[in-house]
Amino acid sequence: YGDYNQKIDYVFKVVLIGDSAVGKTQLLARFARNEFSLDSKATIGVEFQTKTLIIDNKIIKAQIWDTAGQERYRAVTSAYYRGAVGAMLVYDMTKRQSFDHMVKWLEELRGHADQNIVIMLIGNKCDLGSLRAVPMEDAEELAQRENLFFMETSALESTNVETCFLTILTEIY
C-alpha cells in the first residue's frame, strides 16, 4: 500500500488487553506480519504495529497497541487507552482464570477509555480445542451482557485473526 501513504482516510487506534500469555502479541504478529512464534516472550511496557487496509473504498491505518498482561511490566494505563476507538479483550480458552479476569479488564477499560469504544471479546488458542476450559456459551453470555462482539481465534493456525480485526475496524468505521 506504499502508494497510498498520502491518502490515508482514517487512523484507528485499537488496544489489546488481557492476562499474560493469552496470546495478545502473537495475535498482533499474525495480523500485522502474518508471523507466529511459539517462544514469545512477555511484553514489557507497550508496543504497537500498524497495518493499512481498505474498507469500503477508504484507506484505513490500523494502529494496534499491545501491552504487558503482567502488572509489573505495565506502562501508564491512561496513556495506553487515550484515543483508542477499539479494544480487544483477549483470554486463553484453555485457561479459565484468564476468562474470569475479563470483568477486571473490562472495568479498567471502561474506567479509562472513551464511552463509545468498540469492544471485542476474544477466546484465543482455539487450536487447543481438547483443552477447552471456557465453554462458548459462557463467553457468549458475557458478550451479550456487556454488549461486546465475540470470536474464538487461533494465532497459531490463523483462525479468525483477520476476521476479528476486520470486524472491529469495520464496526469502528
Please report, as ranges, the residues that interact with ligand GTP according to CB under 6 A: 20-26, 37-38, 40, 42-43, 68-70, 124-125, 127-128, 154-156
The nearest distance, CB 52 to ligand GTP, in angstroms, is 23
The nearest distance, CB 3 to ligand GTP, in angstroms, is 32
The nearest distance, CB 141 to ligand GTP, in angstroms, is 23
The nearest distance, CB 101 to ligand GTP, in angstroms, is 12
CB-nearer residue toward ligand GTP: 106 or 124: 124
Q: Which residue, chain included where needed, has cell 490463523?
A: 158
CB-nearer residue toward ligand GTP: 9 or 162: 162
CB-nearer residue toward ligand GTP: 12 or 105: 105
Q: Residue 32 carries which DSSP code?
A: H
Helix axes 24-33, 161-172, angle to 10 degrees: 80
* Cα distance between residue 125 and residue 112, in whole Å: 28
* Cα distance between residue 76 and residue 92, in whole Å: 24
CB-nearer residue toward ligand GTP: 23 or 86: 23
The nearest distance, CB 69 to ligand GTP, in angstroms, is 3
* Cα distance between residue 56 and residue 81, in whole Å: 26
Report residue 155 as a C-alpha cell.
494465532
DSSP secondary structure, 136-173, as one string? HHHHHHHHHHHT-EEEE-BTTTTBTHHHHHHHHHHHH-
CB-nearer residue toward ligand GTP: 69 or 86: 69
